[in-house]
Chain A
Amino acid sequence: MGSVEQKGVNRRTFIKTGMVGTATALIAPPAFAEALQNMAAAEHSALPKPVYRTLGRTGLKISLVSFGAMMTPEPEVIRAAIDQGVNYIDTARKYMGGKNEEIVGRGVKGVRDKIFIATKTQPESKTKAEIVRDVETSLKALGTDHIDVIQLHHLTGKERIFIPETREALAQLKKEGKVRFCGVTTHKNEAEVLNALVDDPDRFFDTCLVKYNFKSDKEVAAAIDRAASAGIGIIAMKTQVGGYDTAGMGGITPHQAALKWVLRNPKVTAAIPGMKDLTQLREDIAVMGMSFTYADVRRLDRYAEAIAPFYCNFCGSCEAGCPKGVEISSVNRALMYAEGGYRDLDLARLTYAELPRQATAAACSDCGGCSARCVNGLNIAAKMDRARSMLA
């Protein structure tokens, strides 16, 4: 009654076949893509060889596409990535209350010596006791005797880089062989954090995991360039401008284009896209064999269009709800000059300065809560807050 199939497909060829499928689906009409996929399935076309770059002064050779484990529910997905040459796994003590480290620990079991593990202390940990406790707990959860890169989590400014007690703890842990290198992570005020790492006379931190994508400010790119030139290993996160719904873009996703945009910058050692399933894994690791093309520019243009609803269209209907009379749409326009396609901070500040002070976001400081509502669902309070800190 039953039918038996012996395909003889192992995990490596299984991933290869799927990768070709994903890549062709991105570029070809459906029928052509299907034909190519069938051909690939039959012949198991070659995967791009993994590409490695040196992580700044650490000297670690890590895969251009590395593994952000935060979203990964099963250790087997991590193992599949390792089989494809991915050798740098990023997790954090905080993710899933520490359970994510356990998943990573199971994923690297038996191949630990071939893999570099990066994790992070708790964002609120600053004292020596807290840092040591975090690292000891991480070591236990990961099932390892050392962490390759321990990172201070979620820096929003330069202050935490210079806390003596934090450094004392990290130095002790390095001396004990429990951590090899120290780094930081930042997705806010990235340029300030990067520049502080470079300006640190002790050169204490060796790496920076930084938010960097096709919508990042020029200021961030310049800071990355400076930091990498000073030997700081740069790893990019949020490369795919996460959080935006791309369902409206159909089958062609912008994720590979966004990843390629980041990795074409030679100052970036690697990116750590989050991968929760094999489809994402295939899509991401395929990028190691691709170059950034004009088609990618077009894809990113379409992506920018798809996320356009997140930007103000200056209709002004929200302003009726503001008791302070803030000219919200004008403030948003100034903000757009700074954050949108213009990336022109001077123009943004000039535009903002033209507004009467009582109509700027400065007036929001006296408000307990924002009563203005956007018909497109924009978070007006957050935008005013950004304008106040960036343009005032």
Chain B
Amino acid sequence: MRANRFQVSLRALVPALFLLMLLTPFNSQAKGDMEELLPQVACGDGWKIEGKPLFYDRETLSERIDGEAELYFPYGFERLAAARYALGKNPAAGIDVEIFRMGSLLDAFGMYANYRQKEGSAIAVGADSNLSPSQLFLYQGRFFVHIQVTGADDDPAALTECGRTVASRLPAARNLPTELSALNRPEVVKGTERYLPQSLLGYDFLNKGIMADAVAGGSNLQVFILLGTTTESAKAAFDRYRSQLTQGKVEPMGKDVAFLEGVDPLYGQVMVMRKGGCLAGALKFSGKEGVRGLLVGLCR
């Protein structure tokens, strides 16, 4: 019986592994120079590569994007592959493709969320994407991609096609960062999630966390969850944050659970909950109704 089950598992596993190898042809190569990620000739219909692809690392990124490079470093930036594609009939027109290899899937999401435009729309490419008339942002695996049309009329169709071509060359995994699942609640506004690897809320001791807009009790607010915390570090952050508040009321709620309500000098009224290693908070709310319940849910 046991042997049969093993044989069945093996039979299922072999094709799955084969399929995985087919779907991720660039995964191991991505550790190289990333040239294989850029379409060699065309990026969508009619757009031909112009010149050679360019590559940048931590030392040289600012040569391409100036001081903006500093925004990428906390997100584990490793390498950028960039190319420009031209349209034969209009030499001034170009599509610039930039593929950034970041530290992790969460880092790639973080960069994507930094650039995602409110008015943009999602298209079926990458783990998530944001298309506006002249730009497309997407992320897939640990790659953050920025595609932009310049010197031509807005061309969302070309951006979409180019985005699909690029995404097809990236490692196939299209999953979202698991860390975001904590924000998967009805009160949280989809598409507003952000990841900050440092200085959450502008406090250096609130290191590494996710934030999002939410609606509770009919009131708009923002919520945050600290990431990578242990019980000890969550407690330390909780105590440190409490010391920053101009008014603070701590309510112990049992073993390893505490609730803090106070006034943040920057944000006004805040609520924070610590449960073991979970530290979640809410700010910028006009009414308290439903806020505490939301925090309990975030730390569940």
Contact = CB atoms under 8 A, between A and B. Distances in A.
Contacts of A3: 249-250
B107 to A, nearest CB: 15
A278 B203 contact: yes
A10 interface: yes
A185 B62 CA distance: 13
Given A237-B67, A277-B202, A14 B246 contact: yes
B202 A76 contact: yes
Interface string A24-47: 000000000000000000000000
21 contacts: A1-B251, A1-B252, A2-B251, A6-B246, A7-B247, A70-B70, A76-B267, A77-B202, A95-B68, A97-B117, A99-B115, A99-B116, A124-B150, A124-B151, A153-B66, A243-B70, A276-B198, A277-B198, A278-B203, A310-B59, A369-B33
Contact of A73 (B62, B135, B196): B196
Interface string B59-78: 11011011111110100000
Interface in B115-138: 115-117, 135, 137
Given A97-B135, A123-B66, A277-B199, A76 B117 contact: no
Contacts of A57: none
A255 interface: no
B204 interface: yes
B248 interface: yes
A99 B114 contact: yes
Nearest to B201: A74
Interface of A: 1-11, 14, 68, 70-74, 76-77, 79-80, 92, 94-99, 123-124, 153-154, 185, 187-188, 237-238, 242-243, 274, 276-280, 310, 369, 378-379, 382
B70 A8 contact: no
Given A187-B67, A274-B67, 19 more contacts: A2-B250, A5-B249, A8-B246, A10-B246, A70-B70, A72-B202, A73-B202, A77-B266, A79-B266, A80-B202, A96-B114, A97-B146, A185-B66, A188-B63, A276-B199, A278-B202, A279-B203, A378-B59, A379-B57
B244 interface: yes
Interface string B241-273: 000111111111000000000000111000000
A70 B74 CA distance: 13
Contact of B66 (A10, A11, A187, A276): A187
B66 A14 contact: no
Contacts of B114: 96, 99
Interface of B: 33, 57-60, 62-63, 65-71, 73, 114-117, 135, 137, 146, 150-151, 194, 196, 198-199, 201-204, 244-252, 265-267
Contacts of B58: 243
B266 A71 contact: no
B202 A97 contact: no
A4 B247 contact: yes
A6 B247 CA distance: 5
B203 A277 contact: yes
Nearest to B96: A124
B202 A5 contact: no
A76 B283 CA distance: 12
A2 B202 contact: no
Contacts of A276: 198-199, 202
Contacts of B198: 276-277
Contact of B67 (A10, A238, A369, A378): A238
B101 to A, nearest CB: 16
Nearest to B244: A14
Contacts of B115: 96-97, 99
Contacts of A153: 66
Nearest to A133: B134
Contacts of B202: 72-74, 76-77, 80, 276-278
Nearest to B52: A368
Nearest to A274: B70
A260 to B, nearest CB: 20
A382 B60 CA distance: 8
B71 A379 contact: no
A7 B202 CA distance: 21
**Residue with the highest number of chain A CB atoms closer than 10 Å, among B60, B69, B202:** B202
Which 5 pairs, one residue from A and one from B, show the smallest C-beta to C-beta distance?
Answer: A277-B199, A76-B266, A77-B202, A97-B115, A279-B204
Given A10-B265, A243-B73, A379-B59, A154 B203 contact: no
A124 to B, nearest CB: 5
Contacts of A278: 202-204, 266
A14 B243 CA distance: 11
B70 A242 contact: yes
A1 B203 CA distance: 28
Contacts of B73: 243
A3 B202 CA distance: 26
A5 B66 CA distance: 46
Contact of A95 (B57, B60, B71, B267): B71
Given A276-B202, A379-B59, A4 B265 contact: no
A277 B249 CA distance: 24
A99 B247 CA distance: 32
Contacts of B246: 6-10, 14
A277 B200 CA distance: 8
A79 B265 CA distance: 11
Contacts of B135: 97
A50 to B, nearest CB: 19
Nearest to A122: B150
Contacts of A188: 63
Contacts of A10: 246, 265
Given A76-B267, A94-B68, A243 B250 contact: no
